[in-house]
Amino acid sequence: MEQQVHFLTLATADLDAARRFYVDGLGWTPLLDVPGEIVFFQVAPGTVLAFFEAGSFARDLGTGPARPEVSGVTLAHDVADRDAVTALTGRMAAAGGTVLTAPEEGAFGGVFHALVRDPNGVVWEVAHNPGWSVGPDGTVRLS
């Protein structure tokens, strides 16, 4: 197996709230949107983030009507500077997100970040990390 991930699929209890947050609030463009079922966003070359209605997600997994739980997961979005962390955190809150941690110094590495939960409980870290870079060939560098 090659070391790559193509799809990240998250169960969502309220697909319409997810759509409002990401499309209306943050201005993301769906790659494919199936009302009542799933919405896909291309988030990087060859990588898609999908929000799948929780009941359909559970049936797809063969677990019946129970709502799947996700815990201990954050999605991260790195920005160019500290001001961008503050601005995006505000935009996410205005779109219906809940700020869990206001923009602040991180515990290590010179990171400045905030944590915001979307309307369905997905936690995003918005960060400026001076040790993060992506080379022209797409290789991530962490220092």
What is the residue extent of each domain of the chain? Answer: 1-69, 70-132
pLDDT digits (tens, 9 = 90+) for 60-84: 777 666 655 656 788 999 999 999 9
Tokens describing residue 130: 């001076």
Task: Note the pLDDT of residue 33.
Answer: 96
What CATH number does the domain located at 1-69 have? 3.10.180.10
66-103 burial, b if ≥16 CB within 10 A, otherwise e?
A: eeeeeeeeeeebbbeeeebbbebbeebeebebeeeeeb
Task: Note the pLDDT of residue 70.
Answer: 57
d(CA 103, CA 17): 24
Domains 1-69 and 70-132 share a fold: yes
Low-confidence ranges of the chain (pLDDT < 70): 63-71
Task: Note the pLDDT of residue 2.
Answer: 86
Task: Note the pLDDT of residue 18.
Answer: 96
Task: Note the pLDDT of residue 118.
Answer: 95
Task: Note the pLDDT of residue 63.
Answer: 65
What CATH number does the domain located at 70-132 have? 3.10.180.10
Task: Note the pLDDT of residue 62.
Answer: 76
Task: Note the pLDDT of residue 113.
Answer: 96
Task: Note the pLDDT of residue 59.
Answer: 82
Task: Note the pLDDT of residue 106.
Answer: 92
d(CA 73, CA 47): 18
Task: Note the pLDDT of residue 60.
Answer: 78
